[in-house]
A and B are shown apart, each in its own frame.
Chain A
């Protein structure tokens, strides 16, 4: 499989605090990769840099053969709207809009006629088993329902890559499992690549591969041992 996303030697600091110290990863098309590690290891920063939300201080981010870290903010925004879907832990739905409108939003922003956008939104509500919340606003939904609406919104544009930052961090076990099953099933059906950030081994177990980080660097041992490679690891 060819690489759809490559992050090479990226460095990012917040003021004087380094968050990433030269991280390189390659993600193949259709692969589900979990970036893991404890709080503060740089995994969310890696997702922000890889998805173009943030620009790294050094290093390169390549999507589908094009280097995107040098692009302007507006060009990266356009890329996110058209090619990427992003799912956060919480707080991503527009509180005033019903679920169907929330899901339709990315399509409306790129000029899809309202009727078509809402039809697509309803298809996704059906697909994720939450057709009954179509008319509800985020405040009227459970956490699990809201996160599935957010997932539908991230996938309605049929992105090439889904970026998910602790997507089940605010959910109980069963709701978290539903969301993870839906993420993996739908993205595998569509061939969508997934870069998932989590601090939980049981969430990372849904991925094809784990990339452990520690203190802003790759940590192949998964146990914070710099430079160590587990015996038998590829």
Chain B
């Protein structure tokens, strides 16, 4: 689930409490469904249980007391390993891809985000070749062909999106860092 990693990515900028993380998430990924506060605290609870974040203190700025959370070394390692992994080339992965690009920009900068996009593109094109072989096989059933068509048009759309996003990486970098 990419929400956990987005929160870990946001914590690379320093300790934050849940309220700040919710707003930072919604602003970094404006097209994603806004996070509910309950979801933020439930996710932070799981991350704390798994040792990926720790409670770092509490703040009370005229309102209710808020617990701040900080990234741990295992948390940083889990984030790095998530960023290093390309997504399996399958339909409907665009939201995870976008989360990964944004987190890569936040934590590792433009070069890492570009490197990720390049590796992801290669995974997508290889999968498209495999699917094309499946549907070009004279023995393929109509069902196989239709399923391959579905996957191919989605992967093709993702590829075009990857290319456009790459053109916007520098702009996106400024936006997520601001």
What is A's interface to B at a CB cutoff of 8 Å? 181, 184-185, 200-202, 204-207, 210, 221-225, 228, 230-233
Contact = CB atoms under 8 A, between A and B. Distances in A.
B132 A205 contact: yes
Contacts of A223: 114, 117-118, 121, 162-163, 166
5 contacts: A201-B124, A223-B163, A225-B114, A231-B122, A232-B122
Nearest to A233: B122
A233 B128 CA distance: 16
Given A201-B156, A210-B125, A222 B136 contact: no
Nearest to A210: B125
A201 B115 contact: no
Contacts of B129: 205, 207
B112 to A, nearest CB: 12
Contacts of B167: 224
Contacts, number: 61
A221 B121 contact: yes
A121 B155 CA distance: 39
A206 B125 contact: no
B136 A228 contact: no
A210 B159 CA distance: 14
Nearest to A228: B118
A199 B56 CA distance: 52
Given A201-B128, A204-B125, A205-B129, A232 B156 contact: no
A222 B125 contact: yes
B131 interface: yes
B99 interface: no
A232 B114 CA distance: 15
B102 interface: no
B46 interface: no
B118 A222 contact: yes
The 9 A-B pairs with the shortest beta carbon distances in the complex, nearest first, are: A205-B128, A205-B132, A230-B122, A221-B118, A230-B118, A223-B166, A202-B156, A205-B129, A201-B159
A231 B119 contact: yes
